[in-house]
Amino acid sequence: MEYKKPKVIAEIGCNHKGDMDIAKELLRLSKECNADVAKFQKRNNRELLTEQQYNAPHPNPSNSYGDTYGAHREFLEFSVEQHKELKNYCDQIGIEYSTSVWDVTSALEMITFNPSLLKVPSACNNHFDMLRVLRDEYTGEVHLSFGMTNQDEEKQIISFFEETDQAKHRLVIYSCTSGYPVPFEDVCLLEISRLKNEYGNRVKDIGFSGHHLGIAIDNAAYTLGATWVERHFTKDRTWKGTDHAASLEPTGLRKLCRDLFATFKALNYKKTEILEIEQVQRDKLKYRKQ
């Protein structure tokens, strides 16, 4: 297998708590930790939620930023102009901007300033009206997670992008288990190998979106074939909100990036049977028959 340099996505999502200053601080921290991409989320909540869902209380009131689930979601939502500002800030500090889109309106809004990649979350990967916007009206990479998705649905999604010959050039698919956090036995890393075997020659690349605790298994995901590694990111896991508990803090993200790059450097064959670094030891230590 030929390994590409790993790319790390710091999934800020809504961990900014609706505060642009915190969002920019998380961007700076993502850059300092050597992540390649920092990603947010974009929703049109009136389009995405039913009236009943919008007006219902948050299922976990201690994490809510509003009296209803809709009010909570609106509090955490940045406008299109704010997303443009965040992209400009990313350009200034040298990290790639991206966002997940959850509905047709959000997809149409985000493609207006042409980020290089947009993400489709697992919850929306069967929203074909939205996928059509990303396939037919957008030119960047489409990254798409396969959490809570059966294999027939996977095939439908791949085929949908192949209808216009887009999958091989623009589609990146992610192995993912949708849970917050996910116990290790449910991460199912070998799904990466399955996706690589089934679709590796039909899509642009394979990724891994992890919601587990710690960084012990991300290197394994990379060696199994996931070039892209996406992890939720926050400054403080004790902050109010549903995603913080399954997120990495700066120390964890920094070590993740360090370890993935070290693994990339190590994944090669010897250029010569005896490396230069070994020759010194060979001359000094190798047994010679007297």
Convert the pLDDT of each residue in 56-82 to its tens digit: 998 888 888 989 999 999 999 999 999
Q: Above 90 in pLDDT, residue 154?
A: yes
Question: How much is the mean pLDDT over the chain?
Answer: 95
Report d(CA 85, CA 74) in Å as an integer: 19
| Of the candidates 165, 224, 229, the residue with the CA atom closest to the CA atom of residue 200 | 224
Distances (CA, A) of 201 to 82, 130, 224, 234: 37, 25, 15, 35
For 181-224, write each residue's pLDDT tens digit: 999 999 999 999 999 999 999 999 999 999 999 999 999 999 99
Domains of the chain by residue range: 7-285
Report d(CA 193, CA 190) in Å as an integer: 5
What integer is the mean pLDDT of 138-148?
98
Pull the structure tokens for residue 26. 């998380």
Q: Which residues contact 66 (CB under 8 A, 6 or more apart)?
A: 58, 72, 73, 74, 75
Report d(CA 236, CA 241) in Å as an integer: 11
CATH class of residue range 7-285? alpha beta
